[in-house]
Amino acid sequence: MSEQLRANTSASAPLLRVRGVSVTYAAQRSIADLLARRSASGIVALDSVDLDVNAGEIVAVVGESGSGKTTLARVIAGLIAADEGVVEVEGEGPNDWRSVGMVFQDPYETLDPKRTLGEFIAEGLEAQGLPMDRVDTALEAAELLPAAAFRDRVPEELSGGQRQRVVIAGALALNPKLVIADEPVSMLDVSMRAQILALIEQLRRDQGIAWIFITHDLSLAWAISDRVVVLYLGAVVEEGTAEQVLRNPAHPYTRALLAALPSTDPGAAGTHSLAAGEIPQGDTPSGCRFRNRCAHAIEACALTRPPLEVAPGGGAEHRVACIRAAELPPLS
């Protein structure tokens, strides 16, 4: 019975539960706003986002620059508060958990140039009352060996890849159940990337750590993730297993992203090119937020926001927000 029960609870209660999270950044009031006696309009960075992450799972969050990936990471980490919605880790609100770690995009910026690596890792331990011997354990877990040789060095003496390992060690030391990695390899050269990806994979396997892997690079998402969530202008437009989303994309935006990959067939790239317009700067379009760039847009697309629904012909966890998903031509 207990086996059954455990399976049930883990299925119904994910490690991370994000529901209806919206974030609007206050914008500077422009002169036009002042003259029109408007309050500043603000930038909607996230619009009612849902996201589940199960224990030990690697979920890739993909999207172009400005789609809200970093904002989502900061909300989940508790660095900024959501204007609406809930974020729960193991059923607890942001003030109570200590089990979310974060790896930032720029390892050169994450380490204080004035402090040693040991001090960097010890900082979190001290703040959370954990024993200091975890410094070495964490350095070893991040494969910075021997730990004693790294403890007293300053960031200046390390390569970008080593720095990112130190940042990962800093997160590991605090015993996280979930680590959010915001474009963790985009600043590293190619040889380092594979190593960091392998480390993430290994930590998931050995310590059961769940990862949210944020990237704009679909090939990285394919290489590392179990599931993929596609963000566009602050909303989820498609989600599913890596296989479903990347092999069988149902949303025109996901298709366009895939077609823009250099490795795809150039003939296919033409039909789904992203060249049709940039991310809109001002207000999000009414109806489908992708419609001003979508090659398949029809009038009905302007009327209502398409909800996330089970993708045609896919499994139950493959969901897409497009009213024409069923009519789209199949990919070759």
Minimum distance from residue 223 beta carbon to Mg ion (Å): 19
Instruction: Quickly tell me which residue has 């200091």 as its tokens.
Output: 132
Binding partner at 63 among ligand SF4, ligand ATP, Mg ion, none, C-beta below 5 to 8 Å by kind = ligand ATP
207 Cβ neighbours under 8 A, 6+ residues apart: 141, 172
Q: Could you say which of 57, 60, 69, 249 contacts ligand ATP (CB under 6 A)?
A: 69
Q: Could you say which of 38, 115, 205, 247 contacts another protein (CB under 8 A)?
A: 115
Q: Could you say which of 103, 297, 311, 318 contacts ligand SF4 (CB under 6 A)?
A: 297
**Strand, helix or coil at 86?**
strand
Minimum distance from residue 51 beta carbon to ligand ATP (Å): 14
Which whole-number Å values give the CA distances from 228 to 14, 148, 217, 221, 323, in the listed order?
A: 16, 38, 12, 7, 20
Compare residues 174 and 323 and give the one whose CB is closer to another protein: 174
Binding partner at 296 among ligand SF4, Mg ion, ligand ATP, none, C-beta below 5 to 8 Å by kind = ligand SF4
Q: Could you say which of 8, 30, 39, 128 contacts another protein (CB under 8 A)?
A: 128
106 near another protein (CB under 8 A): yes
Minimum distance from residue 296 beta carbon to ligand SF4 (Å): 4
**Distance, CA of 192 to CA of 143 (rounded, Å):** 13
Minimum distance from residue 100 beta carbon to Mg ion (Å): 17
215 near Mg ion (CB under 5 A): no
Interface with another protein in residues 148-167 (CB under 8 A): 151-152, 154, 167
Cis peptide before 146 (omega within 30 of 0): yes
Amino acid, res. 319: R
Amino acid, res. 263: S
Contact 50, 17 (CB under 8 A): no
Structure tokens at 171: 């997160």
Q: Could you say which of 6, 7, 10, 25 contacts ligand ATP (CB under 6 A)?
A: 25
Contact 252, 290 (CB under 8 A): yes
Structure tokens at 296: 């398949």
Interface with Mg ion in residues 65-84 (CB under 5 A): 70
Structure tokens at 309: 């629904």
Which whole-number Å values give the CA distances from 156 to 83, 108, 123, in the listed order?
A: 39, 9, 19
Window of 40-48, 163-171, 269-277, 292-300 that interacts with ligand SF4 by CB under 6 A: 292-300
**Distance, CA of 244 to CA of 266 (rounded, Å):** 22
**Distance, CA of 195 to CA of 238 (rounded, Å):** 29
Footprint of another protein on this chain (CB under 8 A)? 77-79, 98, 102, 104, 106, 109-116, 118-119, 122-124, 127-128, 131-133, 135-136, 151-152, 154, 167, 170, 174
Enumerate binding residues for ligand ATP (CB under 6 A).
25, 43, 45, 63, 65-71, 216
Question: Residue numbers of the site for ligand SF4 (CB under 6 A)?
Answer: 252, 288, 290-291, 294, 296-297, 301, 306, 322-324
